[in-house]
């Protein structure tokens, strides 16, 4: 019963769209109808500036981090921990409270990784920052770091349930970024410093 409650709570917390809530509180347009039409931190940056984007990024990360860390501290099995992480992630992608119109999941995925083990989150974040700084393309940095995330999980905490969860999460992230992948292949993907470009969303 406790496991089911943890998983449900993780999904419900994930369903709190930080981008939409922040934009409403700050009097900004609905991110689902402006810019790239994606309720993520990058789109909030376009329509509301750095402060709104930073709050959105923090909120999206915390709703992945908090339920996973709570489950870990309670001492659940790796299978339940993986289920809690996936529930929070899917809540962000398909939020119950916002017509199932969610973001692409990078920040929430990173939050779950920090919740599972700080070294996993730290390595994925460091890889993202390195790629983003070197290539100046947010989507490519996100895709590369999340593609390698299952390997990082295997190196730090090689529980089969956690590895399979991360593989599934990474596959879903790639699918959610399919428009970015098309832009990358055509050479039209926006740069991080170009707020009008169609770069990766959270």
Residue 59 in tokens: 């909120």
Question: Per-residue pLDDT tens for 137-193?
Answer: 888 999 999 999 999 999 999 999 999 999 999 999 999 999 889 999 998 887 766
Report how far residue 125's alpha carbon sits from residue 127's, in angstroms, rounded to the nearest whole number: 5
- pTM for the full model? 0.90
Q: Where are the domains of the chain?
A: 2-186
Report pLDDT for 196: 43
**Residue 189 DSSP symbol:** P
Asked if 40 contacts 103 with a C-beta cutoff of 8 angstroms, the reply is yes
Closest CA to 195 of 58, 51, 37, 44: 44
- Output the average pLDDT for the chain: 91
């Amino acid at each position: 019963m406790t496991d089911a409650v943890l998983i449900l709570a993780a999904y419900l917390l994930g369903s709190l769209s930080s981008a939409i809530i922040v934009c409403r509180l700050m009097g900004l347009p609905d991110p689902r109808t402006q810019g790239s039409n994606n309720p993520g931190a990058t789109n909030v940056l376009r329509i509301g500036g750095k402060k709104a984007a930073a709050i959105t990024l923090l909120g999206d990360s915390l709703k992945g981090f908090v339920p996973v860390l709570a489950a870990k501290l309670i001492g659940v099995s790796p299978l339940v921990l993986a289920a809690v992480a996936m529930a929070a992630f899917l809540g962000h992608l398909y939020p119950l409270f916002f017509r199932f119109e969610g973001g692409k999941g990078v920040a929430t995925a990173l939050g779950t990784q920090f919740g599972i083990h700080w070294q996993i989150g730290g390595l994925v974040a460091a890889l993202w920052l390195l790629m983003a700084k070197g290539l100046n393309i947010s989507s490519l940095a996100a895709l590369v770091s999340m593609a390698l995330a299952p390997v990082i999980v295997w190196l730090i905490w090689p529980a089969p349930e956690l590895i399979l969860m991360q593989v599934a999460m990474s596959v879903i992230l790639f699918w959610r970024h399919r428009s970015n992948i098309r832009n990358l292949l055509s050479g039209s993907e926006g740069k991080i410093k170009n707020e009008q470009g169609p770069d990766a969303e959270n």
